[in-house]
Homo-oligomer: A and B are copies of this chain.
Amino acid sequence: MNLRRNYETRKRQIPRPLEPLNGEREEKVYPPVEEGKLRLIPLGGLGEIGKNMMVIEYGDDILVVDSGIMFPKQEMLGVDFVIPNTKYLEDNKHRIQAIIITHGHEDHIGAIPYILSRIGDPPLYATKLTKGLIETKMKEFNTKRPNISIIKPGDKIKLGPFEVEPFRVNHSIPDGVGFAIHTPLGLLVHSGDFKFDHTPVDKEVTDFGKLAGYAQEGVLVLFSDSTNVEIPGYTMSEKTVGETVDRIFERAKGRVIISSFASLINRVQQSIDSAVKYRRRVMISGRSMENNVETSTRLGYLRIPQGVLVDSKEAKNIRDEELVVICTGSQGEAYSALVRMASGDHREVVIKPGDTIVVSASPIPGNETAISATINNLFRLGADVIYGRQVDIHVSGHAAQEELKTMLDIVKPKYFIPVHGEDRHLILHCRLAQEIGLSPSNTLALENGIVVEFDKEGNYQILKERVPAGYVLIDGLGVGDVGNIVLRDRQAMSRDGIFVIICTVDNKTGKLITSPDLISRGFIYMRAHEELVHKTRAEVRRLMSKYNNTHRADYNEIKMRLRDDIGQYLYRHTQRRPMVIPVIIEV
């Protein structure tokens, strides 16, 4: 067997982190405040999907757009969430005028509970539904009630040197806006997340008129959503999903179970509309779905006729062909409603032949295998599962190439900064802008932490100094304390486990006084490898007496050598590289 090859293949599961983790990019010197200069500093939303956050500075004043969360990447083992590094805002909290929020999705509001008090509790501005969703989220955290002002399209909000006007955009959640931000040096337009849906479920279309108006004023910079820049053509209307759902209801003989993102309020609305049409009652399952339905209904963004909603008790008395369950779990999330149903762990819903299950979402990269496992389980239980690209059960909420070009063409910005995308999305989006006629030097694919500074003449430079940016990992109660060392240890242990060697030595002679204790976890099952354990113990004894002759009592040196030598010994015998942890106890 070829040793080298196997060892190389083994590491396949843990891709190297693309970006330095929390802490590594902590620049010490910030660029000093400059009077009369406009600065744009992305703190999130670039280089990776999620956790949007854009800092806009004029002189002494700071305006922040969005404050999102992202779900951990595969290699961030055990991490719950990732938020932007807000060190810069923490150090400059007295300068923050406000955070303005485009819409209520996690990747735009999710970090608020974690950062708000650390950056001095600045006022928030959000539309009505977005405010409701932020407040619902904050309730889970036992922090003080945030100060959120309701804004609506057309308002003009004076925030220090900035005047902010929200304008309507259509997206997969109601009440989304983009922002026109007037600054002393020119007008900035931030698209938020948007698409051009001419037949949206909530009747709110992206406001072409406003956008054209901004163009007439002259737009210095356009920030635009890059999520779907790889997709040619136009994104389909949300309405197409409604038609598919209708057809599914028409045919289904038993229960219909629809899983989607809790935040796709319009999708929930369409499912409820179909339920009403086909005389079915609706049960909601999954905490975030229940929360969002409650908030959206209370605020008037979800219309549910009296008597349609039933709780799980009432649902038990309703015949299969008269029931719909709307639930979470479309991403195969552990403990979500659909995943519990699929594994037979759901208290109220037991899947059976005759059930029609609709997975109304496309996979977020990294979730593919979990979703696939869920669908397999549902099939195995005899259900009919409708999923994937073959039927129109999901459309994106983001603009595709032709819509992105339309946005660029209407707004006609002098400069273009793509946001909300990985590196390839940002670069492709810049190329799209160049096709529209912008010169390459006027399209900027940035990295988080870069400072772009504009002067009165509308020229920009990229400053040499960067501000701290990158990931801050949240695990349990700790914000940011999972750094490179902890994560690397988790990665190493996940590959080949650990091997602890405990040597108890006499504090005078340095000689072993008991047999070395060995502990293996995730490396080999010791009972099945008694011979190796036995031999390794003998090797430890041999090494200890050898070191002691040459090194005396420098225990750190001995531990280092023990780690290397036993590590190699174990690799020779197993071709695995457990993390070897030597401990020397003096008594």
Contact = CB atoms under 8 A, between A and B. Distances in A.
Interface of A: 1-2, 5-16, 18, 47, 71-74, 77-81, 113, 140-142, 230-232, 287, 332-335, 343, 365-366, 368-370, 372-373, 375-377, 379-380, 385, 388, 390, 422-424, 427-428, 475-478, 481, 483, 485-487, 489-491, 493-498, 500, 502, 504, 513-514, 517, 519, 521-525, 528-529, 573-576, 579, 581, 583, 585-587
A545 to B, nearest CB: 18
Contact of A477 (B1, B141, B497, B517): B1
Given A1-B142, A78-B494, A498-B498, 6 more contacts: A1-B140, A2-B142, A8-B335, A477-B573, A490-B493, A517-B585
A585 B585 CA distance: 10
Contacts of A525: 481, 483, 485-486
B385 A12 contact: no
B504 A78 contact: no
Contacts of A72: 13
B376 A522 contact: no
Contact of A380 (B71, B377, B423): B423
A366 B365 contact: no
Nearest to A388: B230
Contacts of A16: 334, 343
15 contacts: A2-B142, A9-B80, A10-B78, A10-B475, A13-B72, A18-B377, A73-B369, A78-B576, A365-B368, A379-B423, A476-B575, A476-B576, A486-B522, A493-B497, A493-B521
A16 to B, nearest CB: 7
A376 B493 CA distance: 28
A428 to B, nearest CB: 8
Main secondary structure of the interface of A (DSSP, over half): mixed
Given A13-B72, A15-B332, A587-B504, A490 B486 contact: no
Contact of A369 (B1, B365, B372, B489): B365
Nearest to A575: B476
Contacts of A6: 80, 476
A79 B16 CA distance: 17
Contacts of A521: 489, 493, 498, 579, 581
Nearest to A18: B373
A519 to B, nearest CB: 6
A486 B525 CA distance: 6
Contacts of A528: 481
Given A486-B525, A583-B517, A372 B422 contact: yes
Contact of A74 (B13, B379, B487): B13
Nearest to A5: B140
A71 B372 CA distance: 16
Contacts of A79: 10
A379 B421 CA distance: 13
Contacts of A287: 5
Interface centre among A80, A81, A332, A586 (most CB of B within 10 A): A80
A32 B365 CA distance: 48
A13 B78 contact: yes
A292 to B, nearest CB: 14
Given A77-B494, A587-B513, A481 B524 contact: yes
A587 B512 CA distance: 11
Contacts of A335: 8-9, 11
A370 B365 CA distance: 10
A523 B71 CA distance: 19
B576 A141 contact: no
Given A8-B335, A10-B80, A528-B481, A519 B583 contact: yes
Contacts of A334: 8, 11-12, 14-16
B497 A494 contact: no
A568 to B, nearest CB: 14
A368 B366 contact: yes
B581 A519 contact: yes
| Residue in A7, A477, A575 whose Cβ sees the most chain B Cβ within 10 Å | A477
A528 B375 CA distance: 43
A443 to B, nearest CB: 14
B486 A497 contact: yes
Contacts of A502: 502, 583, 585
A481 B8 contact: no
